[in-house]
Amino acid sequence: MTNRRNTIFGALVLLAAMARHGAATPPAPPAVVDWIRTHAAPFSTPEAGHGFDDLRAFGDMVGDARIVGLGETTHGTREIFQMKHRLLEYLVVEHGFTVFGLEASLPDCVAINDYVLHGRGDAETALHGQGFWTWDTEEVLDMIRWMRAYNDDPAHDRKIRFSGYDMQSLPPALSVALDYVRAIDAARADILAADLDALRTADARTIANVPPEGRRAMRDAADGLVATYDEHRDEWIAATSADAFDLARWHAVIVGQYAEMLDSSVVGHQGAIATMQRVGMAFGPAGLTIRTYLDHVDFARVDAFEPLLAAAAGDLDAFLIGYQSRLDHDARQAYRDRADALVTLLAEHRDEYVGRWSEEAWTAAAQAAATMRAFFEAADAFVGMGALDAMPNVRDRCMAENIAWILDREGPDARMVVWAHNGHIMARPSAPGTGPMGDTLRRTFGADYVPVGFLFDRGGFQAIWRPGPDEAWDGAPALRPFTVGASAPGTHDAAFAATGLARCIVDLRTVPREGAVNDWFRTPRSMRTIGAIFSPAAERNFATPVELANWFDLAIFFAETTPARPARLTREQFGMPPRRDG
């Protein structure tokens, strides 16, 4: 049961928000299919090295935009990855794009840029070092090797730069920021490092147990790092250079972004569910629980916490649904009050309880109680599900800020290709700072940002296998290929498939503003959405309602796909056998 609890929450919001879209719906009207077929620009292959004649229409669609965001409907589709490589080549060679950005942490991609720009190191090691198995594939490896070959050609005066723009990796960002200071003022660097010790040791697994004042202190320390840079700007530029200062300072900014993301993860847009995943109601030796602990150290108080104990011992899935959808504010507050009271009780009676059992048992119980309190705090963030758009999406906002910084650093003529999942690329209108990365980019750059969504009908992809509720781990590597059949009627994917086209590009900005075609593309329709994890037992849940023409400028469709191919180092990491060519 514990394993099931720990696996169910990762898809909880998806299940709750999408379940109503799972029922069979009518297929796309003939007018919609005809419109797609008429306005589609077919292309011959996703593979690079086949010329650009069939991509001219795509170039016309991009126009003079500074940023082209290339999405993906899974994190592991070979043809989509290959197509991104091909489009990058086209945009570099024919349209003067010089910057490529990957959905990976900015400091972790420095080695890739060193390889691409200067030929330092080797491609395999550099790519694997960015840390995400999703991108460590043969397709991406081929792309960065092409980038290196392009830069190595003296005929190309303007070189391509490779950059990450994510901010989920603290150690390298902190090292760059502190090492710069240390080279100028070692004593000051030591003081800053000491202030940042708590942040250095915190992570997504432990932050829920840090009290609000502790999280605030972490953010203050990170803010202090940036403030120190700003205070000594002229002095430090004189000691180094404006370029070195700017780069190191932005790593300090990333430290602050990381601290903000951790803080918001307790109740935030993306992190609340992760907090729930970490709620282990059984802890310590021999499956000790909160109930058995209280039974042992203070039996008379058990009844006061009975509602909490019952929730912890029961089906957390069912409890959470009822908590969010059926309890009013006062009833939810009663649960939160009891959780607070339990934390307080354990703190106030620490010596007494340690004497009745042990220091180890008290520590485990106190941590479990704090995590339980975080569970209710996180659950409240999703009451009614309608609050999602009101919560900050720190990671996506920060990724957009980092992209803007990269472009500003490269100069006013720089143009950038951005690689990410559809869920980040889409320009879904949202309150400022609460929506996807693409919404912030659209707010910042307007029509200079072109979001491109990808769809597919059937075929393969790779992902981490997530067992269903009644499935046991089968012992095979977690990263594995999957195959799905034709998309369900009434979905965006199926509408494109009905055209009979093998692959095509469509400019969604040309969708008419009224009639059946407008209604189809500007009304939420289900569309396959698969990230790093997939469960065949719950395939229908890996979809999301999308207003395709409102959230993307262009769409690229594949009728059939195959899995991306893990690169050698990732195959070794996951215990996969070497790939045989062919």
CA distance 150 to 116: 9
pLDDT at 321: 56
Domains of the chain: 25-166+415-459+478-530+539-573 (3.40.1660.10), 170-269 (no CATH), 275-388 (no CATH)
pLDDT-derived band at 2, boundaries 50, 70, 90: very low
pLDDT-derived band at 553, boundaries 50, 70, 90: very high
pLDDT at 280: 40
pLDDT in tens, 31-62: 999 999 999 999 999 999 999 999 999 999 99
> b/e string for 385-418 if b means 16 or more Cβ within 10 A?
eeebeebbbbbbbbbbbbbbbbbeeeeeebbbbb
For residues 355-382, average pLDDT: 78
pLDDT-derived band at 572, boundaries 50, 70, 90: very high
pLDDT-derived band at 331, boundaries 50, 70, 90: confident
pLDDT at 391: 52
CA distance 179 to 191: 13
pLDDT: is 558 or 377 the higher one?
558
In three-state form (DSSP H/G/I as H, E/B as E, the rest C), the secondary structure along 268-284 is: CCCHHHHHHHCCCCEEC
pLDDT at 20: 34
Half-sphere exposure in the Cβ direction for 105 (13 Å, CA): 21
479-484 vs 449-465, strand pairing mode: antiparallel
pLDDT: is 90 or 338 the higher one?
90
**Would you say residue 292 has pLDDT above 90?**
no
CA-CA distances (angstroms) from residue 399 to 35, 174, 224, 235, 519? 35, 17, 21, 29, 32
Closest to 430 in 3D by CA, of 387, 398, 401: 387
pLDDT: is 36 or 333 the higher one?
36
pLDDT-derived band at 320, boundaries 50, 70, 90: low
Closest to 436 in 3D by CA, of 399, 383, 408: 399
pLDDT: is 364 or 173 the higher one?
173
**Would you say residue 329 has pLDDT above 70?**
yes
First to last CA, the chain: 42
pLDDT at 387: 39
In the three-class reduction of DSSP (H, G, I as helix; E, B as strand; rest coil), residue 546 is classed as strand
pLDDT at 152: 98
For residues 250-265, average pLDDT: 93
On average, the pLDDT of the chain sits at 87
**Would you say residue 439 has pLDDT above 80?**
yes
For residues 545-554, average pLDDT: 97
The amino acid sitting at 11 is: A
For residues 179-208, average pLDDT: 92
pLDDT in tens, 202-225: 987 678 678 889 999 999 999 999
Structure tokens at 284: 């310590």
Determine phi and psi for 87, rounding to 5 degrees.
Answer: -65, -35
- Helix (H) or strand (E) run with residue 443 in it: helix 437-445
pLDDT in tens, 460-497: 999 998 776 667 777 788 899 999 999 999 999 999 99
Q: Which residues contact 263 (CB under 8 A, 6 or more apart)?
A: 207, 215, 216, 218, 219
pLDDT: is 124 or 580 the higher one?
124
